[in-house]
Amino acid sequence: MPLDIDKLRLDFPILAQTVNGQPLVYLDNAATTQKPQAVLDALNHYYQGQNANVHRAAHALSGQATQAFEAARAKVADFIHAPDARQVIWTRGATEAINLVALSFGMQKLKAGDEILLSAMEHHANIVPWQQVAAATGAVIKVIPLTDNAELDMTAAANLFSSRTKLLAISHVSNALGVLNPVQTLIAMAKAVGAVTLIDGAQAVGHLSVDVQALDCDFYVFSGHKMFGPTGIGVLYGKRALLEAMPPWQTGGEMIKYVSFEHTRFGELPFKFEAGTPNIAGAIGLGAAIDYLSALDRCALAAHEHQLMLQLLAGLSALPEVRIIGRPTAGAVSFIIDDVHPQDVATLLDMQGIAVRTGHHCAMPLMQALDLQQGTLRASIAFYNHAQDIDALLLGLKKSREFF
C-alpha cells in the first residue's frame, strides 16, 4: 500500500498547531523529532498506572514497571540487532553514552602516545570527551580531514591509521551536513590495526536500519529523542567482552551486588553501568517509539524521505545566491544565502511558521574547516514531513530574500 502521509501526520498531535498564525512547518528534526501519540500514551500510562521504582520491590506496581522497563531494553536490542539485551546500557542520551565510554574505557586503556582518530565533521559530544581523555592520558587526537565536497577524505583516513591508533570515534551521519559516512569501511580499517570503534548513531537511527553486528562496531550510541522517543533517554551498545572489562563510571544504588564498609561487589551487565534510579518512563517511551516505527514500512518511509530530499535539494539549487554545503543524502541539508546572516533568515521563516535550525550545529571545528564563521541554515526532515513542507520552505526563503 502507498504511504498515506496525511494519515501518519495525525499520529503526531503537535503538527496540527499554528505558529505565528501559520500552519507549523517543522523542519528541525535533526535537533529533535516530534512524538507520536503512542509514545505520549505510553508515558502517561506509566505515570498514571505503573509508577514505581524498578528492580527493588516485591509489590505489583514495581513488578509491572520492571517488566515494561526491561521489555523496552529488549526492544532496543532487537531494533539494532544486538545479540543480547544485556549489551544495551541506558544513558541520558548519545552524549552521556560517549562520555561513559570515554571515562570507563578511554581513561583506563589509553596511554601516552596512543592515537584517537576522529573526523572533522564530528559533533562536539564526540570531540570534547576525547580531548579530556587525551589531556589526562597523554593520548593524541588525529582528525580525518574533508574533501572539497565536504565529505571524509578516505585516502587521508587510510594514511592516518597505524599501530598507534587505539580508538576510532566517528559519526554514522553528520548532524550538520546530512552526509552518510562510510562507517563500515572505516570500521574495517580500524580493525586491521587493532583499534576499538565507536559509532555515533544519533542522526542515523531515525532514518536508517542499523545492524550493529553487521557493522561489527565495538560501541554504538544514540538518543531516543531523535527517533521519535522522549528526551533524557539514550543507549550505549557495546560488545560484551569490552563492557565486562570496563569499570563502572558512576557508583551508588542499583549497580551493586554487595556493599560493606570494607568492600563492594558490582552488579552484572547491564546494571553495573546504571547507578541510581533510571529514567524509567523514558525507557518505556523509547520502547513505544520502537513499536511505532516497527509497525510501519520503514523501506517506504526511507523512500518517501529520499523524495523529500531530492525535492529540497532541487528547490534550493534553483534559488539564486543559495549555496548548499556538501552533498547531503540523509535527513538534513545545510545551506547559506550569500551576504545574509543565517539567524536573520531563520527569524523571518519563523514568522511564516517554518522551523529550521541555524548556527554551528554543535560542530564548530567543521564550520571552521568550511570557513563558515556564521554557521549555516539547516533544514532537516522526518517521514511525517510532506511535499507541502518543502514548498513552504522554498517560498519562505524567496520571501525572506526579497526582504533583504
**Torsional class of 20: left (φ above 0), alpha (ψ -120 to 50), beta (otherwise):** left
Residue 354 sits at φ, ψ, to 5 deg, of -105, 120
* pLDDT (average), residues 60-71: 97
Q: What is the pLDDT of residue 121?
A: 97
Residue 399 sits at φ, ψ, to 5 deg, of -65, -40
**pLDDT band for position 57 (50/70/90)?**
confident
CB atoms within 10 A of CB 105: 24
Structural domains of the chain in order of their starting residue, each with its CATH number: 5-30+297-403 (3.90.1150.10), 41-294 (3.40.640.10)
Choice among 15, 40, 43, 362 that is catalytic: 362
Verdict on whether the full-model pTM lies above 0.95: yes
* pLDDT (average), residues 115-126: 98
Q: What is the pLDDT of residue 186?
A: 98
**Up-side HSE of residue 131: CA atoms within 13 Å toward CB?**
8
Digit-coded pLDDT (tens) for 319-343: 989 999 999 999 999 999 988 999 9
Kindly state the helix (H) or strand (E) to which residue 190 belongs, with its residue range. helix 183-192
pLDDT, mean over the chain:
97
Those residues whose C-beta lies under 8 Å from the C-beta of residue 89, and which sit 6 or more positions away, are 97, 100, 235, 236, 237, 238, 243, 269, 270, 273, 274
Contact indicator for 170, 320 with CB cutoff of 8 Å: no
Q: What is the pLDDT of residue 340?
A: 93
> Does residue 299 have an active-site annotation?
no
Specify the DSSP class assigned to residue 207. Answer: T
Q: Is the dihedral of CA 44, 46, 50, 51 positive or negative?
A: negative
Digit-coded pLDDT (tens) for 214-265: 999 999 999 999 999 999 999 999 999 999 999 999 999 999 999 999 999 9
* pLDDT (average), residues 308-327: 96
Q: List the beta bridge partners of residue 332.
A: 380
Digit-coded pLDDT (tens) for 341-353: 999 999 999 999 9
Instruction: Give CA–CA dist 265/257, Å, rounded.
Output: 5
* pLDDT (average), residues 293-315: 96
